[in-house]
């Protein structure tokens, strides 16, 4: 199993541009999570999906952020327009909903820098 | 908000010695799980050890063990015979079943291992 795959690994963009982060969960996992990691706030859950349906998006900071999961093997997190304060590492994680208590499997993260 | 607190931003240990990382948490649920994740410089989030709240016996994984004090809501990680490869950020996390089913993280402890 290739694990959770995120792309790109690094992204540098200019303020105001649209940014799309991508995630491929582990095959068979039906829960997917997007986290943001910053020095100040640590790891924050932005949104999670069960069976491709968004369950809790209360962590999404504002309307500039949106996430989709069009099928069980792909999810995107989009920021439009991007701002310097969005600079962070964004992680995607997946699990089986029935066994989420075993722990999540994380991707390697996307380091986003907005200049 | 139900939180996870790691009071030690940084710790250091000599190679081959033992170190304990602290974590306290808050929850009103009776069914929950606790985790320690390791994040080396590669950025990958690696599950180190897991504890079910209903189990009194402390979890162990090779050189890693926990001291779970349920009444005190304390969950510390002990690393024995520390190795240079143990140097990383360590995150304590709580997963609550039946409530807001998501993994909530502490802000992390940076562990340095000195040769």
- Per-residue model confidence as pLDDT tens digits over B45-86: 999 999 999 998 999 999 999 999 999 999 999 999 999 999
Nearest in space to A30 (alpha carbons), one of A2, A69, A68, A72:
A72
Computed over every residue of chain A, the mean pLDDT equals 93
Give the span between the Cα atoms of A51 and A54, in whole angstroms.
8
**Residues 27-56 (A) with a CB less than 8 A from some CB of B:** 33, 42-43, 45, 48, 56
All residues of chain B having their beta carbon less than 8 Å from the beta carbon of residue A108 are 42-44
Q: Which residues, other chains included, contact A99 with Cβ-Cβ below 8 Å and sequence gap of 6+?
A: none
Is residue A110 within 8 A of residue A10, CB to CB? The reply is: yes
- The residue with greater pLDDT, B115 or A2, is B115
- Per-residue model confidence as pLDDT tens digits over A3-27: 999 999 999 999 999 999 999 999 9
Give the span between the Cα atoms of A77 and A69, in whole angstroms.
9
Q: Which residue of B has its CA nearest to A31?
A: B102
Is residue B113 within 8 A of residue B87, CB to CB? The reply is: yes
Give the residue from A30, A56, A104 with the most B CB atoms within 10 Å of its CB, the best one to mutate: A104
Letter string b/e over residues B35-55, b meaning 16 or more CB atoms within 10 A of that residue's CB: bbbbbeeebbbebbbbbebee
Least confident of A98-102, B10-14, B47-51, B73-77: A98-102
Q: What is the 3-state secondary structure (H, E, C) of B51-100?
A: EECCCCCCCEECCEEEEEECCCCEEEEEECCCCHHHCEEEEEEEEECCCC
CB atoms closer than 10 angstroms to residue A105 = 19
Give the span between the Cα atoms of A14 and B33, in whole angstroms.
41
Query: How far is the first Cα of chain B from the last one, in angstroms, to the nearest whole number?
Result: 40
């Amino acid at each position: 199993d290739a694990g959770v795959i995120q792309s790109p690994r690094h992204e540098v963009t200019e303020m105001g541009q649209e940014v799309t982060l991508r995630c491929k969960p582990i095959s068979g996992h039906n829960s997917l999570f997007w986290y943001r990691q910053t020095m100040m706030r640590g790891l924050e859950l932005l949104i999670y999906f069960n069976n491709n349906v968004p369950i809790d998006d209360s962590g999404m900071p504002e309307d500039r952020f949106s996430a989709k999961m069009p099928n069980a093997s792909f999810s995107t997190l989009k920021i439009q327009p991007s701002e310097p304060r969005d600079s962070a590492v964004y992680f995607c994680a997946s699990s089986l909903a029935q066994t989420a208590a075993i722990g999540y499997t994380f991707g390697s993260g996307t380091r986003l820098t907005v200049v | 908000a139900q939180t996870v607190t790691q009071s030690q931003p940084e710790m250091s240990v000599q190679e081959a010695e033992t170190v304990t990382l602290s974590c306290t948490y808050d929850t009103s649920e009776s069914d929950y799980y606790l985790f320690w994740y390791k994040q080396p410089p590669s950025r990958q989030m690696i599950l180190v050890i897991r504890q079910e709240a209903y189990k009194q016996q402390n979890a162990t994984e090779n050189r890693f063990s926990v001291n779970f004090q349920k009444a005190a809501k304390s969950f510390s990680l002990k690393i024995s015979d520390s190795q240079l490869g143990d140097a990383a950020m360590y995150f304590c996390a709580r997963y609550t079943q039946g409530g807001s089913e998501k993994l909530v993280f502490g802000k992390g402890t940076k562990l340095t291992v000195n040769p």
